[in-house]
Chain A
């Protein structure tokens, strides 16, 4: 990660008159560092140890073994929840990019600058309702007898009430709703930073609007897409609320399976092992997108 952080080339380190520069810097660093070590690194380490223990009956046994991990591959309902999670997350990420890109493009290119800020604020405002409430609102929209079903009946598209709630589709809609906004922001931020003369140069060289877009604009906005897509991936694959409220337990996603272990059995060893697997998946994805991500520049 450190390779992507900007070099503060011009900000020469301050030389303290006493020469105790390093020491003083550590003084400033220490609070944040201790916090991270105590409440982030240590918990992860404890969890890693827990994942090697086992829950037997109503007790935790502290024998070291990898059986929680082997169980993951042996018990179909465990690994299937990872597969479900991956399918949902990939679907959500792709749909959100496809929906968000045109909107970001329109906002950046077709809307006069003085309206842009208002348009963006308008896009963000609905996300200030609590996100538990947002998922719940989608039930009211999607369920049989809900708004959507009534609307379709009214315009005659269907003669029977229809339901979209309690399904994977509902979970995906709930997720896409949030991530379209997020991706619009990251792509928009990227688009407005592009110098206008790139496009003119391309046009001067005889490229049509489509070729300009594919060969110039799209590659240049890849960082914006990737940052948004990565955030979408991390937030989506680790979210419990949206599938819990909208999915109707027709299937289980990985966070639901993890919470089942905690809530119904107090089986922290298995839950820890599943969390480690989730973390490994996210790390792989992070490594794959790392070159586009500049977390310090969000």
Chain B
């Protein structure tokens, strides 16, 4: 990296060191031989990874997390897109109020949203399941998707849409064949961010789930049922998978930009 001055370089390295310190320790001690993941290091051993793969609770939770993240993000993007389309392209009464309402969940703590849903589901007698976690994740992600997509709906697309309409396209054709392709980067970004937030969300998943839990909740209960490097192993594994996904996503986006 061609840096112009030494203090800046040192400062950056220090911050990056701070950011990477816990991750490095996490990964290193996932290869610990003994039960306690603190120095001295007495590995390398793969036994905690073997234990991890044999634990169906963890693998189930992994799968649940993927399902919830993708399903809730898809719903969030579709609903967010439709709402953004309505408000950006049509004259709607009280449009400002509606925008405020749709983005309001962004300013409320997840804990409060989680509690509200828990009390509501209890009162309605709706059983807690992956579905209820998904509902909660749409509540937190839809406003984000709406905001991202709405901010990207510019005049350029509007002109194209009008042109299509003038040529006789029906509204659904305009949306599917003009708006969606034009907004592709925003839609992808919204989806990607939603998946990220859903993947890492704890408190909602914790409060509105029963046996079908997502990975963060499973990790939390692993922490509460015994200290051992298996927790390190699951964390390192998630990290590895995420790195691959992020780099892949970045490559796709970056190639698109260049093209």
Contacts and interface: CB of A to CB of B under 8 A. Distances in A.
A and B touch in the complex (CB under 8 A): yes
A29 B92 contact: yes
Nearest to A151: B39
Most chain A CB atoms below 10 A, which of B19, B136, B161 = B19
B238 A133 contact: yes
Interface string B140-181: 001110111011011101100110010000010000000000
B113 A136 contact: no
A136 B91 CA distance: 50
Secondary structure of the A contact surface, majority rule? helix
A25 B92 contact: yes
Nearest to B219: A132
Given A10-B155, A133-B219, A140-B22, A234 B231 contact: no
Contact of B223 (A21, A31, A36, A245): A245
A260 interface: no
B105 A238 contact: no
Prevailing SS type, chain B contact patch: helix
A282 B99 contact: no
A283 B103 contact: no
A13 B231 CA distance: 54
Given A33-B83, A44-B116, A128-B242, A122 B22 contact: no
Interface string A179-214: 011000000000000000000000000000000000
A3 B95 CA distance: 11
A182 B80 CA distance: 24
A61 interface: no
B86 A26 contact: yes
B101 interface: yes
A177 B235 contact: no
B21 interface: yes
B92 A26 contact: yes
Interface of B: 1-5, 8, 11-12, 15-16, 18-23, 25-26, 29, 37-39, 78-80, 82-83, 85-93, 95-113, 115-120, 123, 135-136, 138-139, 142-144, 146-148, 150-151, 153-155, 157-158, 161-162, 165, 171, 196, 199-200, 202-203, 207, 215-216, 219-220, 223, 231-232, 234-236, 238-239, 242-243, 245-247, 250, 254
6 contacts: A14-B90, A47-B112, A111-B1, A132-B202, A146-B38, A295-B103
